[in-house]
Structure 1
Amino acid sequence: MLTHRQQKILTLIEDTSRVRVEDLADRFATSPQTIRKDLQALAELHHVVRFHGGATLVGGAEYSPPAEREGEAHAAKASIGSAVAARLPPSGALFLNAGTTTVQAIRKLTGARQLRIIVDNVDLAAEIRSYQGVEVIVPGGAVRRSDGAILGAEAVDYIRQFRPDYAVIGAAAVAEDGGLLDYDLAEVQVCRAMMEYARHVILAVDGTKFRRTAPVRFGHLSDIHTLVTDSSPKWLTPLCMDCEVELVLAAG
C-alpha cells in the first residue's frame, strides 16, 4: 500500500512523465534518501522505472504533448534541422525517427525529388505527405495515443526490409560515456532497427540532451556517423574523435 507521499509522487510522475530526486526532495521538504526509498517502493510495485537521479513511468510513460516539447529550444532545433537537411540527398530513401528536432530536418529540406521517407510516426507522416517530391511510408504496428509513434515488432520487421542511405534519429539524452538514452523501450526498438539498416546515421539533438538522463540505453555514439547539435560540452569533442563521429555544430 502506498503512503500519501508516494501516491502524490506517482501522480506527479503520471502528469510530468519523469521526476528527479532533488526536485522531489525540495517539493516535499524531505531528504533525497527518503525520496529514493519512495521511488524504490514504487519501482518494486512496477509503477515506475528508476534511473540515476530520478524515475519515469513503466514503459516510458506518455510523453508531454508534442506541441509543448517543440517549444523547448525551438531556435536551436531549427538551426540543427537546417544543418541536417543540408546533408540529406534530394532523392533516394531515408529513415526518419520522429522527434521535435528530427522533424525540423524535413521541414528545412528543399529541392526534394523522388525522396522516399520511412517514418515511425503517423502524425508526422500526415504532415509531410504533402511535401513536394516526397513519398511517405509508415510501418504497421501499435500507435501511441499521445504522439502518434508507431511501436511493436511489426514496425521493426517492416523497417528491416529497407536499406536506405541515411537515417535521421533523435535521443532523449546523451551520456558522457557516449550512451544514447531514451524513455520507452518499445519505441527504441524501432530506432535501433533504423540505425542498424541505414548506411549513414545522423543523430540530431539540441544541447539540453547532454544535461539529461533517461532509463533506456538504445545505442552508443560509435553506432552513428554524424552528430548535429547546437552546443558541445567539453567531453563531447574528444569522445566523437574516439568514436570516429563527425561533430557538426549548427549555427545559431
Structure 2
Amino acid sequence: MSLSFRQSDIIEIAKQNGRVMVEDLALQFGVTVQTIRRDLSELAELGKLDRVHGGAVLRSGVSNIGYEDRRALNAEIKTRIAQVCAANIPDGASLFLNIGTSTEAVAHQLLNHKDLMVVTNNMNVARILVENTNCQIVVAGGVLRRSDGGLIGNLTNSTIEQFKFDYAVIGCSALDADGDLLDFDFQEVRVSQTIIAQARHSFLVADHSKFQRSAPARIASMSEVDVFFTDQPLPSRLARKCKEWGTRVVYSGRTTGDSH
C-alpha cells in the first residue's frame, strides 16, 4: 500500500516531534478529524506509527516511547490480557511483577487476590497493590528510573536472587519472529533475566503491537516462558516455534500449544 502525500507528511511530523495529535493535524491539513483518524489507523497497520489516545507516536527500534504514551497504547487490550493472566494466579502465591504498563495492568487485576506475596522493581506496581491489604509487597531496591518508576541495577538483581517465586509476570518492549523477547534498557534486561531464573513458572504479558516493534537488547527466548498471554494470534513462524517449545499461548479466551 502506497502512502498518500498527507500520510508521508504526517510521518515526517512524527519524526520531528515524536508524536502527532489528531486535532492538530486536522487543522494543519484542513481536513476532518475523521480523515486524520483513518490516516493514523492506516499508518499503524503499516507499522509506521503506534496509535495512542488522541493521536499517534513514532514507532522506534532503538528507543522506547514515553511512559504516558505506553500506558495509553492499547489500554483496554492490556486490561483484558491482565484479567486472563490474573485468573491463572492462585491465592497464596508468591510472584514477581517487573517494569511495564502491561504488568501494571496485571497488578490492578490482583487487588482481590488473597495472601499474595509480590516482589517488584516497579514503583507503580507497589502503589497499585497497596490497596490490597491481603498482599505482602516487597520492593526490590535499586536505581530509580524516574521516567516510569522502574528500579534497576546491581542492587535490584541482588534482591531478586534472594527469592524463588511461584510465578514471574514479565513484559517486553518487542517480540521478534525468532521468539526472542527484546527491550531497550540493557540494565532492565539483566533484571528480567534474573527474574526468569528465579521463577518456577514464567508468564509473559504482551499485546499484538509488540509483534510489530523492534528493540536492540535481548532478554530471553520464548522457550523460557511457560505461558504467553496476548490478544491476537501470533505470526505463523512464531506460533510454530511456541508449539515446538511447548510454550502455551492464551489469547481472546482461547489456548494454543501444550503446557510445559
Q: So what's the TM-score if we normalise by structure 1?
A: 0.74
Task: Give me the whole-angstrom Cα distance separating, in 1, the residues matched to 2:175 and 2:110.
Answer: 25
1:48-197 equivalent positions in 2, closer than 5 A:
56=62, 63-65=65-67, 67-109=68-110, 111-197=112-198
Please tell me whether the aligned partners of residues 97 and 125 of structure 2 are also in contact (alpha carbons under 8 angstroms).
no
The one-letter code matched in structure 1 to 2:240 is P
2:50 matched residue in structure 1: none
Letter of the aligned partner of 2:232 in structure 1?
S
Q: Which sits farther off after the overlay, 179-188 or 103-112?
A: 103-112
Q: 1:147 to 1:54 in 2, by over 3 A?
A: closer
Runs of 4+ residues over 6 Å off in structure 1: none
Equivalent residues of 1:228, 1:250 under 8 A apart: no
CA displacement at 1:173 relative to structure 2? 0.7
Asked whether the 8 Å contact 1:168–1:203 carries over to 2, the reply is: yes
Contact 2:170/2:205, CA 8 A, preserved across alignment: yes
Q: TM-score, normalised by structure 2?
A: 0.72
The separation in 2 between residues aligned to 1:171 and 1:243, in whole angstroms, is 19
Identify if the C-alpha distance between structure 1 residues 78 and 54 changes in structure 2 by more than 3 Å, giving closer, same or farther.
Answer: closer
What SS does structure 2 have at the residue aligned with 1:101? helix
In the alignment, the residues of structure 2 paired with residue 230 and residue 55 of structure 1 have an alpha-carbon distance, to the nearest angstrom, of: 22
**SS of alignment partner, residue 96 of structure 2:** strand
For the residues of structure 2 that align with 1:204 and 1:101, how far apart are their CA atoms?
Answer: 6
**Please, which runs of 5 or more residues in structure 1 have no aligned partner?**
1-8, 18-52
Deviations 1:31-87 (CA, angstroms, capped at 9, x unpaired): xxxxxxxxxxxxxxxxxxxxxx96535xxx6x503x321111112111100110010
Moved more, 197-206 or 224-233: 224-233
The amino acid that maps onto 2:238 is L
Q: Which runs of 5+ in 2 are unaligned?
A: 1-11, 20-58, 255-260
CA deviation vs aligned residue, 1:97-144 (integer Å, no higher than 9, x gap): 131112222212254222010011123212222223111111111000
Q: Which has the higher contact order (CA 8 A, sep 6+)?
A: 1
Code of the aligned partner of 2:71: E
Deviates more, 1:188-197 or 1:228-237: 228-237
Mean Cα deviation higher: 113-122 or 233-242 = 233-242
- Aligned-residue identity in percent: 31
